[in-house]
Amino acid sequence: MTQSNPPTPPKRLVDRDVHGHTPRGPWAEVAEAQWSDWRWQQRNRLTSLTDFEGLISLTDGERAAFEACSDRFRVAVTPYYATLMSPDDPSCPIRRQALPQPEELEPHPEDRLDPLGEEAYMPVPGLTHRYPDRALLYVTHHCPVYCRHCTRKRKVSDPSSTLAKRQLDTAIGYLRDHPEVRDVLISGGDPLTLSDDRLAAIVAALTEIPHIEVLRLCTRNPVTLPSRLTDDLLDKLAPYQPLLIHTHFNHPAECTPEAARCLRRLADRGFSVANQMVLLRGINDDAERVREVNHWLLRQRCRPYYLFQADLAEGVSHFRTPIETGVEIIRALRGHTSGMAVPHFVVDAPGGGGKIPLVPEYVTGRDDDHLIFENYAGDTYRYPLR
């Protein structure tokens, strides 16, 4: 009888990112089995001022903003994500993404409740169908952590806006009746707040629609709750390919060993993973931060896909940078690092105009026969027009 050898583990060029654990701070005594159980993390989320008072030194502004904002857009932070917060620095990028800031209360004249016009293109509840061949399905409005820069503040975190089972069936029926739709984004909220079976059932129902070619699952769990990507869940989802994963890392502080292991688990199971970073003032509005995150992502086999200009959502104007900042970040990356580490910088046009890519200007002129342009280093080149 021949004995089969165990499979050889993949050889890695870089292993350093996956070793170790993020220090647990006040949760140091929590048993590993609990800490790495995503349900425990969900149950023990920090949601009140008292929860945070025991963890970090809140400023008066943060305290006031918490009291004024938390009933408009809920506050919830997993213990895991909370361990990434600096206890003493109010400008900490994790604090600013997860805790209400005083500026949230200052409206901007261009703010919109629904900045991308998603409700206007909603043929049935819970489904936006704006582009002919793509549709966006909102399967839940809950998330493990509520990001203060969320575009869908109008309904995310609001339990009353969650889609009922009957409405979800209607939305899936709509997709069945529209053969032009070939690509469906499963979003929310965060779809991974659903149970494994519920999520797998939705994915299975969509997979049965013959004209749907690609599914995309949009989740920030690899950032805020990486333990949610369990082997059980991946076993249930892995048969449904192509099921692409879109995630949302914004800052090097989020690039932990736990997150690296999560992304590698996804890649090892055959999922193609891409990152959609949002450009946020004071958090990642410089090329060095973006480069550091994107190099880390590539090492975990996650493609840096988009860098989004922050939308005109209500209460997020303090996060917005001038558009030129994003263009300059792309200029600082293009040619100076691997092309794969350079995302598309896009503005999602207000009101539903779609994504508009913005690129630095490299063409400096033309003559009768040639286009004249500059390369990344500022050197001039000519290329024949035909």
143 binds ligand SF4 (CB under 6 A): yes
Cβ-based nearer residue to ligand SF4, 332 or 343: 343
- Write the DSSP symbol of residue 85: S
Kindly tell me which residue out of 129, 178, 220, 318 binds ligand SF4, with binding defined by CB under 6 A: 220
190 binds ligand SF4 (CB under 6 A): yes
Q: How many CA atoms lie within 13 A of 197 on its CB side?
A: 0
100 binds ligand SF4 (CB under 6 A): no
| Contact window for ligand SF4 (CB under 6 A) among 11-19, 104-112, 141-149, 203-211 | 141-149
| Contact window for ligand SF4 (CB under 6 A) among 55-63, 108-116, 143-151, 225-233 | 143-151
17 binds ligand SF4 (CB under 6 A): no
In the sheet that 370-374 helps form, which strands lie side by side, from edge to edge?
363-366, 370-374, 380-384
Cβ-based nearer residue to ligand SF4, 18 or 218: 218
Please state, in angstroms and rounded to a whole number, the distance separating the CA atoms of residues 290 and 288.
6
Kindly tell me which residue out of 38, 80, 146, 271 binds ligand SF4, with binding defined by CB under 6 A: 146
Minimum distance from residue 66 beta carbon to ligand SF4 (Å): 16
Please state, in angstroms and rounded to a whole number, the distance separating the CA atoms of residues 33 and 286.
38
Please state, in angstroms and rounded to a whole number, the distance separating the CA atoms of residues 138 and 125.
9
76 binds ligand SF4 (CB under 6 A): no
Cβ-based nearer residue to ligand SF4, 178 or 216: 216
Minimum distance from residue 324 beta carbon to ligand SF4 (Å): 24
What's the farthest any 2 CA atoms get from each other in the chain?
76
The residue type at 360: P
For residue 113, what are its two tokens?
A: 């409740």
Q: Contact, 204 vs 184, CB < 8 A?
A: no
Please state, in angstroms and rounded to a whole number, the distance separating the CA atoms of residues 357 and 307.
10
Kindly tell me which residue out of 135, 147, 184, 273 binds ligand SF4, with binding defined by CB under 6 A: 147
Closest CA to 96 of 72, 68, 77: 77
CA–CA distance from 80 to each of 46, 48, 218, 341 (Å)? Answer: 10, 16, 20, 27
302 binds ligand SF4 (CB under 6 A): no
| Residues known to be catalytic | 130-131, 134, 143, 147, 150, 152, 311, 348, 355
226 binds ligand SF4 (CB under 6 A): no
H/E segment holding residue 304: strand 302-309
Please state, in angstroms and rounded to a whole number, the distance separating the CA atoms of residues 15 and 12.
6
* 152-171 footprint of ligand SF4 as x/- string (CB under 6 A): x---x---------------
Cβ-based nearer residue to ligand SF4, 82 or 143: 143
Q: Which residue has the tokens 């193609």?
A: 272
Cβ-based nearer residue to ligand SF4, 222 or 326: 222
189 binds ligand SF4 (CB under 6 A): yes
For residue 21, what are its two tokens?
A: 């654990």
Strands of the chain, DSSP E? 127-128, 134-138, 183-187, 214-218, 243-247, 273-279, 302-309, 344-349, 354-357, 363-366, 370-374, 380-384
How many residues form the binding site for ligand SF4 (CB under 6 A)? Answer: 10
The residue type at 79: P
45 binds ligand SF4 (CB under 6 A): no
Cβ-based nearer residue to ligand SF4, 150 or 186: 150
Chain positions contacting ligand SF4, by CB under 6 A = 143, 146-147, 150, 152, 156, 188-190, 220
